[in-house]
């Protein structure tokens, strides 16, 4: 099954006999709080215009637990996550399509969680809301019938801190953050800059074109192979807090390369002073 869907194909599916459940995951990584600026309001953006039939899902409250020792976006409580998905109409036997404002990170987080929790048919709208050419709704907030989805975790591979550190030595661990954060030149959020020793810089932004859509599968596969994802080699991904890394896991899936996600990511790794930190362009 393809992990992404084009806007025209989504329009056709929504008008078909078995339309997918549609989830709007509007969210942005923001350091505005530190600057005294208002935080991005995903629900307000949703209410200002969303694809007809879409239900808003809050990434920070429903797709993650509260920040803490396990990172800024730890795995959500399964009861909270399951209840949010059922409220949105998600059932085990009905396809799901997720989208966000265009960057794709938040939608990929929802895609990964649903797939990890056992849903068999989830796709991300390629290019996000910006790719949608149909009408948008404002006042009409849907109230779908309750779904029956019950999370059963483990369908996708997951890394903790120890496993991520080991994989950086035994396989290939991609760091999906911007290169300057990987090198430790800047660190706007976490305690210290740098990367997990052995990790390879592979910024998520390089998986998409100027329009926000994923590069063709063959181009993605060539990119990841050049970075070390050889056939038969175990692959993992991390980022700052397990959101943009989910987008890279999605890009790898489009390329036909299975990969594990380190959800705690740098926000967890760097919070422990006993864990090693590498800086500069060299993985080690």
- Catalytic site residues? 239
CA distances to 98, 107, 147, 151 from 89, in Å? 13, 17, 4, 14
200 phi/psi in degrees, rounded to 5: -110, 130
Q: What is the distance between the terminal CA atoms of the chain, rounded to a whole angstrom?
A: 36
Q: Which uninterrupted H or E stretch holds 266?
A: helix 265-269
> Considering only CA atoms, which of 5, 111, 104, 122 is closest in space to residue 63?
111
Pairing of strands 200-201, 172-175: parallel
CB-CB contact of 239 with 182 (8 Å): no
Other C-beta atoms closer than 10 Å to the C-beta of 125 total 28
**Tokens representing residue 149 in the block:** 């989805």
**Tokens representing residue 95 in the block:** 């396809």
| CA of residue 248 relative to chain centroid, distance | 7
- Give the strands of the sheet with 96-99, arranged side by side: 4-5, 122-125, 96-99, 21-24, 55-56
**Tokens representing residue 93 in the block:** 């036997």
Which residue reads 């797939």 in tokens? 115
Which residue reads 């649903």 in tokens? 114
**Tokens representing residue 235 in the block:** 């692959």
Q: What angle do CA 38, 42, 44 make, to 5 degrees?
A: 80
């Amino acid at each position: 099954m393809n992990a992404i869907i084009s806007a025209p194909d989504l329009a056709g599916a929504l008008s078909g006999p078995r339309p997918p459940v549609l989830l709007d995951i509007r969210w942005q990584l923001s350091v505005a709080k530190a600057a005294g600026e208002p935080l991005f309001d995903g629900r307000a953006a949703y209410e200002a215009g969303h694809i007809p039939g879409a239900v808003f899902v809050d990434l920070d409250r429903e797709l993650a637990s509260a920040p803490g020792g396990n990172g800024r976006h730890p795995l959500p409580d399964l009861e909270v996550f399951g209840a949010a998905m059922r409220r949105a109409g998600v059932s085990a036997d009905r396809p799901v399509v997720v989208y966000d404002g265009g960057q794709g990170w938040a939608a990929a987080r929802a895609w990964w969680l649903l797939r990890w929790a056992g849903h068999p048919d989830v796709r991300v709208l390629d290019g996000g809301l910006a790719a949608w050419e149909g009408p948008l709704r404002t006042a009409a907030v849907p109230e779908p019938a309750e779904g029956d989805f019950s999370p059963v975790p483990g369908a996708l591979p997951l890394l903790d801190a120890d496993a991520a550190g080991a994989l950086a030595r035994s396989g290939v661990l991609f760091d999906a953050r911007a290169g300057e954060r990987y090198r430790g030149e800047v660190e706007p959020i976490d305690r210290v800059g740098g990367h997990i020793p052995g990790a390879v810089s592979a910024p998520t932004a390089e998986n998409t074109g100027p329009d926000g859509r994923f590069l063709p599968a063959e181009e993605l596969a060539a990119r990841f192979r050049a970075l070390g994802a050889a056939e038969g080699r175990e692959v993992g991904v991390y980022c700052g807090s397990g959101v943009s890394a989910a987008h890279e896991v999605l890009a790898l899936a489009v390329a036909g390369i299975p990969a594990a996600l380190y959800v705690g990511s740098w926000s967890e790794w760097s919070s422990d002073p006993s864990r090693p930190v590498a800086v500069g362009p060299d993985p080690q």
